[in-house]
Amino acid sequence: MGTTDLIDRPGAIREGEELDLDALKQHLEPVLGAQAANLTVKQFPGGHSNLTYLLSSGDEQWVLRRPPFGSKVKSAHDMSREYRILSALKSVFPYGPVPVHFCEDHSVIGCDFYLMNYIEGLVIRRDYPEELGFSPAQKRQQLLNFFDVLGELHSVDLVEAGLDNFGKPAGYVQRQVDGWCKRWVNSVTPDAVNCDHIMQWLQDNMPAESGKASVIHNDYKLDNVIFDVNDPLKVIGVLDWEMSTVGDPLMDLGCTLGYWTQTDDPDFFRASRTMPSDVEGAPTRAEIVARFQERTGLSVADFPFYFCFGLFRLTVIGQQIYYRFYHGHTKDERFRGFLTKSVALQKMCDLIIKGELTT
């Protein structure tokens, strides 16, 4: 098996997540011309939030993004926001997909959606594909490249991108903490873990803002990045921009490191990992923070806060996903296990709060 066999490919559409293809063809005819009449649709298997489909017509392919069915949280699935920031970044950040069309007419498929170009490449999920044959040194370099692209995003000139009025960087940290606490309260189910003490700790230990305003992705993780099939160390695409904004880059770093397990982490946290960050050769959180500080000039003196926030945010996202399953809004059995993941994330927050985990 070669690397081309590792391309992230779509498959059959999951039950309950079908699109009205006839309505879609009719709507897209002014955009795609005659190609719209022959559209076929498949669904990408990854992801637990927004839904991603591959539209094909002859040799042409596009990606359609829409919110999940039954979602309560519109702000977490804002297609117009994603479309706007991709439109702004296309000339200053070479990794974002190029947006093609945005639709806010819910009579088409029942929600906002947008079309973008399809970037074909390798997506790495929970484990490294054995077929890559990567050495520990290659894994380390690929993961460092992954973080360096995040640094490139944080270095985008806001004025040049036309994003200097996008978002409200002042007070960003406080709003993020308040917002995610509110989302937690709105998504609690009877079997949820208790996060009251975590929310209070975040309020009590909030650092001063870094003073730096950057474009931030807000969900930068390995399976939202596409690598070149012919050069798997090279990032060629960054996906899932619906939560992006302008804000404090240290919060963005914390969000990414919330996913980052390492070899000396507790087994309960490593068992819940979603990316292969605890393999031999992978950089540790401390190494990543040191590299980030060196390359950006920003101090990460309050790392426990940013890491705890990143973990709590994932707890909330998992609970939001589980909420949809609990109330029957989705039949996707993958969502059942998010309750167990929430427990693991809460335990990690507790270790930080107790001072037993600093990096």
pLDDT for the residue numbered 1? 42
User: Where in the chain are all domains bearing CATH 3.90.1200.10?
Assistant: 130-353
Residues of the chain with CATH 3.30.200.20: 3-117
As averages over each run of 10 residues, the pLDDT of the chain (359 residues) reads 69 91 96 94 79 94 89 63 93 95 95 94 90 93 96 93 88 96 94 94 93 92 93 95 91 96 94 92 95 88 94 93 86 82 92 88
Per-residue pLDDT tens over the stretch 317-338:
989 888 888 888 877 878 888 8
Please give the model's pTM, rounded to 2 decimal places: 0.87
In 10 A of CB 169, how many CB atoms?
20
Most distant CA atoms of the chain, gap in Å:
62
Packing angle, helices 196-204 and 338-353, rounded to 10: 40
Task: Report the side by side order of strands in the sheet with 51-57.
Answer: 40-43, 51-57, 60-66, 113-117, 99-103
Query: Which amino acid is present at 207?
Result: P
pLDDT of residue 301: 87
**Assigned fold of 3-117:** Phosphorylase Kinase; domain 1 (3.30.200)
CATH superfamily of 130-353: Aminoglycoside phosphotransferase (APH), C-terminal lobe (3.90.1200.10)
**Dihedral angle sign, alpha carbons of residues 248, 252, 258, 263:** negative
Tokens of 335: 């969502």
Both structure tokens of 75? 């702000």
What is the pLDDT at residue 227?
A: 96
